[in-house]
Amino acid sequence: MREVRTHEKGQSLFQDALKRFFRNPTGLLGLAIISFFVIASLLAPILRPYDARRDRDLRARLNPPSAEHIFGTDELGRDLFVRVWHGGRISLRVGLTAVVLALVVGTFLGLVAGFFGGWLDMFVTWLVDILLAFPGILLAIAIVATLGPSLRNALIAISVTQIPIYVRITRAVTLSLRESEYVQAAHALGSRPGRIIFIHLLPNGLAPLIVQLTLSIGVAVLDVAALGFLGLGAQPPDPEWGVMIRDGFRQFLRAPWMSIFPGLAIFFSVVGFNLLGDAIRDVIDPRLKNV
């Protein structure tokens, strides 16, 4: 009977959270922007198959936006609309993958450090402090420069820069929950540490992690573009947004559309994730609206 009531209460809280979210115009706008980019990226290879290595038409070099080429063309005559469209697959996939990896590793380290404490907590905290001592983008540049320029190494570098954020959040939540009554009851019943960590502590600490996840994806997309612009991320001819801005930088006075349109794609995708993250934060803790 108690389990049924608990389930009904949890379902009611979830429904209330959904109602608050759909009454939030900021959240709906962010969700609409992200949905547009995600759906467009998923449909790109179906609606418009594209091979960046073969795409070039020198007769159409640096054509301005027109009915034939909505976003214009670049110095090799490549259609920028198609490249920006397909570039979303690279930027969003790498950004999401990097954040998910950081979430998994950082959450695990934070749970273990906060639950066991002692020398393990001290070591993890020391490691996090060292990583946080460097600006994120500079640390990412250093990692990619050491491993070699590539999209995979850029993903690894961005993940490393994001891990300390999740470690600190998870550790703080774990420290506040490990002395709670239900955790003490689980200890008294002889539950193993792994069960307490993943069954009792982790579910109750997901709320701030979900908020941080949505906000971190926007930061990761910016970092992917920054590394691509510096030549340390995706390599030509891959249609990654940062690489496209770098290619257009050399022709900006002659063909500004080469940088403007991929820049707008980065701008709107990051704004969408930030708006969604802010809305989820307000839904999870409505009191923050009044702060």
Cis status of the peptide bond prior to 286, with omega within 30 of 0: no
Residue-by-residue pLDDT tens, the chain, 291 positions = 444 444 444 456 567 767 887 888 888 999 999 999 999 999 988 888 888 888 888 888 889 999 888 999 999 889 999 999 999 999 999 999 999 999 999 999 999 999 888 899 999 999 999 998 888 889 999 999 999 999 999 999 999 999 999 999 999 989 888 777 777 787 677 778 778 888 888 888 888 888 899 889 999 999 999 999 999 988 888 899 999 999 998 888 899 999 999 999 999 999 999 999 888 888 876 554 444
Give pLDDT tens digits for 242-253.
Answer: 999 999 988 888
Using DSSP, state whether 72 is helix, strand or coil. Answer: coil
**Residue closest to 10 by CA, chosen among 150, 288, 203, 282:** 203
- Here the tokens at position 111 are 């749970």
What letter represents residue 135's amino acid? P
For residues 267 and 241, is the Cβ–Cβ distance under 8 A? Answer: no
CATH, domain range 32-47+54-290:
1.10.3720.10
What letter represents residue 173's amino acid? V
Q: What is the pTM of this model?
A: 0.86
CA-based max dimension of the chain: 77
Hey, where are the domains in the chain? Answer: 32-47+54-290
For residues 23 and 268, is the Cβ–Cβ distance under 8 A? Answer: no
